[in-house]
């Protein structure tokens, strides 16, 4: 975190802002891709979030809160993106998922891969808030207190939402599993 | 295989794989794009689109004074009044101009050009009506209430690929997208689709954004409140009449769209580069899309020096509709994670039974399908779907539907049409920790205390067991009798006093009111 750079960006220094986001853009894209499940949408969300952050930066009072503030904007943009495209969507199957190995795979490997795929599909069934909290905690590795700051909710609520999200994921997985 | 819960390691693996690390080149490309947009975007502090509070107060005061004086002297025309009263906060250059009403003579007032006006059939069309409508609607916009799935194919023109859609229920050729079509459509679309008919072919232009979950026209007072970054991608059906605000030249004008009413609030309107020309005097139902406007472009040449106006948020005209329309009253069924064919069928089925329907969610039920969406029309049928429809009052209805060669047959999820899904949040106390759970079964064996006073017993059915601190104790079971009477749409906060440890972790409840 570089408070001086943040303050320069707050005063309209675009170079300072570019330097600020350069080291964060990869992580933001990863987070957005995990939430949205669609790389192009994620890039759009990141781009929109950063432009929105630039516009709103003068209103940021505490430079130390920059990361949480930026993540909050990103999550908001992801929510907006998902809501916008919340109509019918085709499921994209990555090309590598269709590739065949040279030799037969062990049954255990196939079963594990199949289960991971099912978990991925189950994750797609979750709502945006559930996806977000799982990604922030289990992919980004953020502590509960950080998530609480990003989402502006009490830590206890973070815990319960995480719990709900895991339950929802299990239920969705059972649906995917045809149980 | 999928019966056990997802553990932390599995979830982290799946999310890591899902988030597939972007390459450094991708990051740099994105950074360059952001940097370019940032340099072209003023910060709020530099050019506030919304003045600070004291500025607003001062402005409102000065406008009020001007209105009083102007009305008293009878020298202010209604156009200028409307412009000053509503757009000044977004138009500093106009507000500061000493003679804001400098306009060229308006183009000859005329009704909406006939080439834009659908006649004959009511709008929206059904997909099966589109083929017959195409020969009659050359050069016009049409609105189809339907569902399209899309895929990327080589374009008939253009350097790269483009998106082409298949409209469920329409037997004609695939529908390509216009160059500036809503990018969100690339994965498919459902709802009210705007198509342009040219050379005997339909081109996808965009989807209408519902207003309060229904496709009714947006009053300009609502459009004026929208954040343009929120509005991108959608088309909006607006109602109002167009008048000229100011012109820099005969072909560089700003217009205002006003909805009559007790508190008219115009929005700015401008010609789109590739769109139809705006005709002052046109009125009725207009299709518009968000657009960034430069106020300097519309100033007379002698006022351009030093102009600092814009860019400001405004709207571009896509087309206009008149004639009979059913757009005001129809709900907007949408489908999530389902391809067009099934979505269309389910929507028709559900809308017929539930006129207040606002959304549909379709998922597989009781069948495993590797590529979820591809199960929509299995050749031999038989895959059951769980269809959950959300009604306007927030409650839900659920069906189990089965698609086969003859169509889709649906049965209410819980045995009668009064079934409802009611989200229930309960807090379990009495064991070692505090539990926050969702009920999703018809019963449990323990007492429920509603709001700390009312005791309720649940009845019938299965229940799952989870807690925040204790691992799930096992599969669902059916041991718990009782009755819970709630109404569709009820939101309940329940506190459970545990009387039977075996039932202390119940989650989830499908509620059948009155059962």
Nearest CA-CA distance, residue B403 and chain A, Å: 17
Within an 8 Å CB–CB cutoff, is residue B424 touching chain A?
Answer: no
Which candidate in A30, A82, A87 is best for mutational testing of the B interface (most B CBs within 10 A)?
Answer: A87
Cβ-Cβ contacts under 8 Å for B258 (sequence gap 6 or more): B82, B220, B240, B241, B243, B264, B265, B266
CB atoms within 10 A of CB B67: 14
CB atoms within 10 A of CB A69: 20
Beta strands B454-457; B492-497: pairing state: unpaired
Separation of alpha carbons B91 and B78, rounded Å: 18
Separation of alpha carbons B226 and B313, rounded Å: 10
Which candidate in A6, A41, A46, A89 is best for mutational testing of the B interface (most B CBs within 10 A)?
Answer: A89
- From its phi and psi, is residue A65 left (phi > 0), alpha (psi between -120 and 50) or beta? alpha
Which candidate in B30, B234, B347, B376 is best for mutational testing of the A interface (most A CBs within 10 A)?
Answer: B30
Minimum Cα–Cα distance from A86: chain B residue: B336
Instruction: Copy the structure tokens of residue B49.
Output: 């689109």
Separation of alpha carbons A80 and B187, rounded Å: 16
Among residues B363, B265, B276, the alpha carbon closest in space to that of B316 is found at B276
Q: Tell me the residues of chain B between 180 and 199 that have a Cβ less than 8 Å away from chain A.
A: 183-184, 186-191
Q: Tell me the residues of chain B between 378 and 417 that have a Cβ less than 8 Å away from chain A.
A: 386
- Count CA atoms within 13 Å of residue A55 on its CB side: 18
Q: Tell me the residues of chain A between 63 and 122 that have a Cβ less than 8 Å away from chain B.
A: 80, 84-91, 93, 111, 114-122
Q: What are phi and psi of A81, to 5 degrees?
A: -65, -40
Q: Tell me the residues of chain A between 41 and 70 that have a Cβ less than 8 Å away from chain B.
A: 43-44, 46-48, 50-52, 54-59
Among residues B509, B475, B515, the alpha carbon closest in space to that of B494 is found at B509
Answer whether A26 sits within 8 Å of B27, measured CB to CB. yes
Q: What are phi and psi of B193, to 5 degrees?
A: -100, 130
Within an 8 Å CB–CB cutoff, is residue A22 touching chain B?
Answer: yes
Three-state SS annotation for chain A: CCHHHHHHHHCCCHHHHHHHHHCCHHHHHHHHHHHHCCHHHHHHHHHHHHHHHHHHHHHCCCHHHHHHHHHHHHHHHHHHHHHHCCCCCCCCCCHHHHCCCCCCCCHHHHHHHHHHHHHHHHHHCCCHHHHHHHHHHHHCCCCHHHHHHHHCCCHHHHHHHHHHHHHHHHHHHHHHCCC
Q: What is the ipTM of this complex?
A: 0.85
How many contacts (CB atoms, under 8 Å) link A and B? 212
Instruction: Copy the structure tokens of residue B506.
Output: 């119940």
Cβ-Cβ contacts under 8 Å for B55 (sequence gap 6 or more): none
Contact B188, B197 (CB under 8 A): no
Cβ-Cβ contacts under 8 Å for B214 (sequence gap 6 or more): B328, B329, B330, B331, B332, B358
Nearest CA-CA distance, residue A102 and chain B, Å: 22
Instruction: Copy the structure tokens of residue A24.
Output: 């964060």
Answer whether B363 sits within 8 Å of A125, measured CB to CB. yes
Which residues in B221-248 are b (16+ Cβ under 10 Å) and which e? Answer: bbbbebeeeebbbbbbbbbbbbbbbbbb
Among residues A5, A124, A135, the alpha carbon closest in space to that of A71 is found at A135
Q: Tell me the residues of chain B between 329 and 348 that have a Cβ less than 8 Å away from chain A.
A: 334-340, 343
In A, which residues are within 8 Å of B437 by CB distance? 167
Query: pLDDT truncated to tens, each residue of chain B (515 aa)?
Result: 446 788 888 898 889 888 866 677 777 777 777 777 676 666 653 322 222 333 333 334 444 444 444 444 333 333 332 332 333 233 322 222 222 211 122 222 222 222 223 334 567 787 888 888 888 888 888 888 777 776 666 555 543 456 778 787 788 888 888 877 766 666 567 677 899 888 888 988 888 876 655 567 888 888 887 766 566 678 888 888 888 887 776 667 888 888 877 566 778 888 877 778 888 888 888 899 888 777 666 666 665 555 655 567 788 889 887 556 666 555 555 554 444 455 555 555 554 544 455 555 555 443 322 222 333 333 334 445 556 665 555 555 666 666 555 555 666 554 333 333 333 333 333 322 222 233 333 333 333 434 444 434 443 222 333 223 333 333 333 323 233 333 333 333 343 333 333 333 333 333 322 22
In B, which residues are within 8 Å of A13 by CB distance? none
């Amino acid at each position: 975190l570089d408070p001086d750079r943040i303050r320069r960006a707050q005063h309209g220094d675009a170079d300072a802002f570019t330097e600020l986001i350069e080291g964060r853009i990869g992580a933001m894209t990863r987070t957005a891709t995990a939430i949205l499940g669609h790389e192009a949408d994620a890039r759009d969300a990141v781009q929109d979030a950063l432009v929105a952050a630039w516009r709103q930066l003068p209103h940021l009072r505490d430079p130390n809160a920059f990361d949480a503030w930026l993540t909050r904007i990103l999550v908001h943009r992801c929510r907006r993106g998902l809501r916008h495209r919340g109509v019918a969507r085709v499921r994209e199957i990555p090309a590598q998922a269709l590739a065949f190995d040279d030799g037969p795979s062990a049954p255990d490997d196939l079963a594990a891969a199949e289960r991971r795929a099912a978990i991925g599909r189950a994750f797609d069934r979750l709502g945006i808030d559930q996806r977000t909290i799982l990604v922030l905690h289990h992919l980004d590795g953020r502590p509960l207190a950080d998530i609480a700051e990003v989402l502006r909710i009490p830590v206890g609520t973070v815990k319960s939402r995480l719990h709900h999200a895991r339950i929802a994921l299990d239920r969705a997985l059972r649906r995917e599993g045809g149980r | 295989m999928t019966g056990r819960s997802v553990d932390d390691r599995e979830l982290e693996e799946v999310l890591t794989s899902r988030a597939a690390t972007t390459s450094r080149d991708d990051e740099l490309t994105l950074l360059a794009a952001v940097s370019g947009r940032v340099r072209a975007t003023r910060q709020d502090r530099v050019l506030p689109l919304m003045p600070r509070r004291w500025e607003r107060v001062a402005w409102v005061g000065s406008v009020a004074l001007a209105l009083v004086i102007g009305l008293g002297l009878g020298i202010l025309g209604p156009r200028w009044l409307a412009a000053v009263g509503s757009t000044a906060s977004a138009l500093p250059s106009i507000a500061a101009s000493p003679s804001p009403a400098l306009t060229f003579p308006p183009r000859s007032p005329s009704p909406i050009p006939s080439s834009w006006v659908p006649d004959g059939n009511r709008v929206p069309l059904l997909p099966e009506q589109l083929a017959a409508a195409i020969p009659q609607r050359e050069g016009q916009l049409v609105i189809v209430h339907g569902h399209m799935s899309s895929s990327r194919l080589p374009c008939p023109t253009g350097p790269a690929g483009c998106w082409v859609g298949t409209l469920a229920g329409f037997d004609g050729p695939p529908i390509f997208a216009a160059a500036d079509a809503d990018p969100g459509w690339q994965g498919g679309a459902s709802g009210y689709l705007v198509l342009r008919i040219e050379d005997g072919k339909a081109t996808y232009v965009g989807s209408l954004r519902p207003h309060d979950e229904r496709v009714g026209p947006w009053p300009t007072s609502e459009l004026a409140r929208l954040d343009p970054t929120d509005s991108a991608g959608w088309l909006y059906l607006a109602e109002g009449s167009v008048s000229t605000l100011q012109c820099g030249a005969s072909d560089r004008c700003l217009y205002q769209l006003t909805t009559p009413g007790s508190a008219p609030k115009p929005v700015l309107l401008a010609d789109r580069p590739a769109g139809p020309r705006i005709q002052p005097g046109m009125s009725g139902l207009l299709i518009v899309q968000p657009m960034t406007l430069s106020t300097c472009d519309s100033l007379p040449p002698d006022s351009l020096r030093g102009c600092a106006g814009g860019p400001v948020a405004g709207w571009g005209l896509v087309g206009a509709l008149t004639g009979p329309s059913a757009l005001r009253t129809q709900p907007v069924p949408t489908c999530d994670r389902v391809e067009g064919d099934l979505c269309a069928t389910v929507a028709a089925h559900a809308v017929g039974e539930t006129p207040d329907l606002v959304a549909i969610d379709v998922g597989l039920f009781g069948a495993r399908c590797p590529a979820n969406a591809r199960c929509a029309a299995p050749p031999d049928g038989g895959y059951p779907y769980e269809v959950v429809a959300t009604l306007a009052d927030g409650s839900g209805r659920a069906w189990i539907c089965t698609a086969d060669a003859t169509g889709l047959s649906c049965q209410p999820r819980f045995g009668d049409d009064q079934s409802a899904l009611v989200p229930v949040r309960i807090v379990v106390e009495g064991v070692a920790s505090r539990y926050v759970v969702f009920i999703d079964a018809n019963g449990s064996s323990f007492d429920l205390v509603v709001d700390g006073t009312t005791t309720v017993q649940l009845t019938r059915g299965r229940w799952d067991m989870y807690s925040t601190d204790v691992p799930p104790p096992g599969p669902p079971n059916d041991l718990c009798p009782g009755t819970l009477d709630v109404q569709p749409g009820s939101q309940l906060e329940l506190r459970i006093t545990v009387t039977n440890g075996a039932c202390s972790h119940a989650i989830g409840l499908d509620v059948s009111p009155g059962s």
